[in-house]
Chains A and B, each alone.
Chain A
Amino acid sequence: MKVTIDGHEIEVEPGTSILQAARMIGGESVPPAMCYYSKLEGTGGKCRACLVEVSKGSEADPRPMPKLMASCKTGVMDGMEVKSITSPKVLEARKAVTEFLLINHPLDCPVCDQAGECDLQNLAFNHGKEQKRFKEEKRTFAPENIGENIQLHMNRCILCYRCVKTAEQLTDKRVHGVCGRGDHAQISTYISAAIDNEFSGNMIDVCPVGALTDKTFRFKSRVWFNKPYNAHRDCPTCSGKTTVWMFGEEIQRVTARKDEFHEVEEFICNSCRFDHKDTKDWVIEGPRKFEKFSVINQNNYTQKLDKVVMKTEKQILEGRQQDRVKISMKEIPFTDNESKE
């Protein structure tokens, strides 16, 4: 099936969503996603951050879709034409969505441990308005203890349901979920039962904001002061492939490896994440690279660069023989000058 997103044509399998097709193209036309997570089934369709304009439905029915579509939940059709960043309507909608998501967000980024790798921060930076119109009081929740290693900040939650789906699909018994409705909806465990499943720590990585954070890393450092390295160890329960965040010789935090869309590549177990903070436990592969504009790259010179392949002829790159002779001045001997004096 052929789809065109922002003028870029791509051939995709039937059944892919617009968001997935856009991610195959990459670049600026990828819609932001706050709730959709490709590794988890049933996510998406909640945050509306990924709205796109479908200017041509398909080859068979070329009428445009009347409203902006959530690209994570809309499948592609043959000959579909989609406008993402090129549509002013979409940009306007993203601004509005960002404003909605930030209504109850406490904006405590200076305190929050997620700052620097936060999806909501990126969304607000790229698509948000600079002022706010919400004058009412923000909803606040009393802090709740949900286990030994995970800190819940319900105030920061945007109710994306990613952590609920993680618990449902990675662990055999889910003990937390969303309780209440509307303004009162909150992530909580049933009667404060502690989350102690071996894979529960992945909720931290999956959380797009700082609502679920690592207690062992709490207030230790800011993410951009750490040096991230790819590391692995022999783990009986998971793949053991992680990113370790180091400060000097000390491993301050262990996370799963996240790709360019901030989705984890492989889920890791809690013992890797929380209990192995010694450099002897890990085999360090090399520095983890992040996208160009990430704050994690601050004072870091190993950036993620794709190799540029020039598909031009040799003559265009090197020039004509006669010009090369002129530029290098081979005909004028350098020693001639000195010998005469």
Chain B
Amino acid sequence: MSTNTYSLSGRKKEVSNKKLTWTEKIYLVAILKGMMVTLKHMFKKKVTISYPEKTRPFSDVYRGKHMLMRDDEGRERCTACGLCALSCPAEAISMKAAERTADEMHLYREEKYAEIYEINMLRCIFCGLCEEACPKQAIYLTKSKQIAKADISRDNFIFGKDKLVMPLEAAIENTKQQNQA
């Protein structure tokens, strides 16, 4: 048996060259059928919204821009252990560690801290694995709607500590709220 007489996949179809009937030939029925589909969609609910006037509610598990947290005394939590960079599937995170000196005790919580901490926002896929890997609860993905500003330079998408570390005012505010509660 030759291969062109049977179908190995079972999906082989015979193409017929059959003549159309008179009703099929004038295409009127087919056009009306198509118009009915169009008409039906005019009365359906719209799937789009007019952004930015209207916005959709965000999911509870939404993950936005990263933030390097401070503890309740305003010290940076990150110790540059490298687990976020290790877990990052996009390899977006890089860091350089440094040793804390005696007069930096109020700035960093641990003996070691991240001197340079960079996230390449062009590489980041916002999967949240860095947040899960962090043993010090230092990195979090916030609910911020602004993920990264549009720019023409690639360098501006590499976010350093100036953009990632929690602002000190926010840390003070947090501590105040915790003390009241």
Chain A interface residues (CB < 8 Å from chain B): 108-111, 115, 218-222, 224-225, 295, 298, 332, 336-337, 340
Task: For B81, give its contact among A115, A295, A337 (CB under 8 Å).
Answer: A115
Query: Do A111 and B4 have beta carbons less than 8 Å apart?
Result: no
Chain B interface residues (CB < 8 Å from chain A): 2-4, 79-83, 85-86, 97-99, 110-112, 135-136
- B134's nearest neighbour on chain A, judged by CB, is A110
- B82's nearest neighbour on chain A, judged by CB, is A222
From residue A197, how far is it (CB to closest CB) to chain B in Å?
A: 26
Given contacts A110-B79, A110-B110, A337-B4, contact A219 B135 (CB under 8 A): no
Given contacts A109-B81, A111-B111, A115-B81, contact A332 B4 (CB under 8 A): no
Task: For A222, give its contact among B81, B98, B110 (CB under 8 Å).
Answer: B81
Query: Do B3 and A332 have beta carbons less than 8 Å apart?
Result: yes
- A220's nearest neighbour on chain B, judged by CB, is B97
- B80's nearest neighbour on chain A, judged by CB, is A219
From residue B110, how far is it (CB to closest CB) to chain A in Å?
A: 5
Query: Do B79 and A111 have beta carbons less than 8 Å apart?
Result: yes
Q: A109-B135, A224-B86 are in contact. List 11 more A-B contacts (CB 8 A).
A: A110-B79, A110-B81, A111-B81, A111-B112, A219-B80, A219-B98, A220-B97, A222-B82, A225-B82, A298-B86, A340-B4
Docked Cα-Cα span, A224 to B98, in Å, equals 17
- A341's nearest neighbour on chain B, judged by CB, is B4
Query: Do A332 and B99 have beta carbons less than 8 Å apart?
Result: no
* 9 A-B pairs with least C-beta separation: A110-B81, A222-B82, A219-B97, A111-B112, A110-B79, A219-B112, A110-B135, A219-B99, A111-B79
List chain B residues, Cβ under 8 A from A108. 110-111
List chain B residues, Cβ under 8 A from A218. 99
- B4's nearest neighbour on chain A, judged by CB, is A337
List chain A residues, Cβ under 8 A from B112. 110-111, 219
- A107's nearest neighbour on chain B, judged by CB, is B135
Query: Do B135 and A224 have beta carbons less than 8 Å apart?
Result: no
Query: Do A336 and B3 have beta carbons less than 8 Å apart?
Result: yes
Docked Cα-Cα span, A66 to B99, in Å, equals 51
- B138's nearest neighbour on chain A, judged by CB, is A110
Docked Cα-Cα span, A220 to B99, in Å, equals 9
- B98's nearest neighbour on chain A, judged by CB, is A219
Docked Cα-Cα span, A127 to B116, in Å, equals 36
List chain B residues, Cβ under 8 A from A225. 82, 85-86
From residue B87, how far is it (CB to closest CB) to chain A in Å?
A: 10
Task: For A337, give its contact among B3, B80, B86 (CB under 8 Å).
Answer: B3
Query: Do A110 and B85 have beta carbons less than 8 Å apart?
Result: no
From residue A131, how far is it (CB to closest CB) to chain B in Å?
A: 16
List chain B residues, Cβ under 8 A from A295. 86
Docked Cα-Cα span, A109 to B86, in Å, equals 15
List chain B residues, Cβ under 8 A from A219. 80, 97-99, 112
List chain B residues, Cβ under 8 A from A336. 2-4
List chain B residues, Cβ under 8 A from A222. 81-82, 86
Docked Cα-Cα span, A1 to B96, in Å, equals 54
Docked Cα-Cα span, A332 to B85, in Å, equals 54
List chain A residues, Cβ under 8 A from B111. 108, 111
Docked Cα-Cα span, A88 to B145, in Å, equals 53
List chain A residues, Cβ under 8 A from B85. 225
Docked Cα-Cα span, A108 to B109, in Å, equals 12
Most buried by B among A219, A222, A298, A332: A219
Could you list 20 examples of A-B contacts with CB < 8 Å? Answer: A108-B110, A110-B81, A111-B79, A111-B110, A111-B111, A111-B112, A219-B80, A219-B98, A219-B99, A220-B97, A222-B86, A224-B86, A225-B82, A295-B86, A298-B86, A332-B2, A332-B3, A336-B2, A337-B3, A337-B4
List chain A residues, Cβ under 8 A from B2. 332, 336-337
From residue A203, how far is it (CB to closest CB) to chain B in Å?
A: 21
List chain B residues, Cβ under 8 A from A221. 82, 97
- A336's nearest neighbour on chain B, judged by CB, is B2
Most buried by B among A108, A220, A332, A340: A108
Docked Cα-Cα span, A55 to B23, in Å, equals 92
Docked Cα-Cα span, A111 to B4, in Å, equals 68
Given contacts A332-B2, A340-B4, contact A110 B136 (CB under 8 A): yes
Docked Cα-Cα span, A115 to B83, in Å, equals 11
From residue B89, how far is it (CB to closest CB) to chain A in Å?
A: 11
List chain B residues, Cβ under 8 A from A340. 4
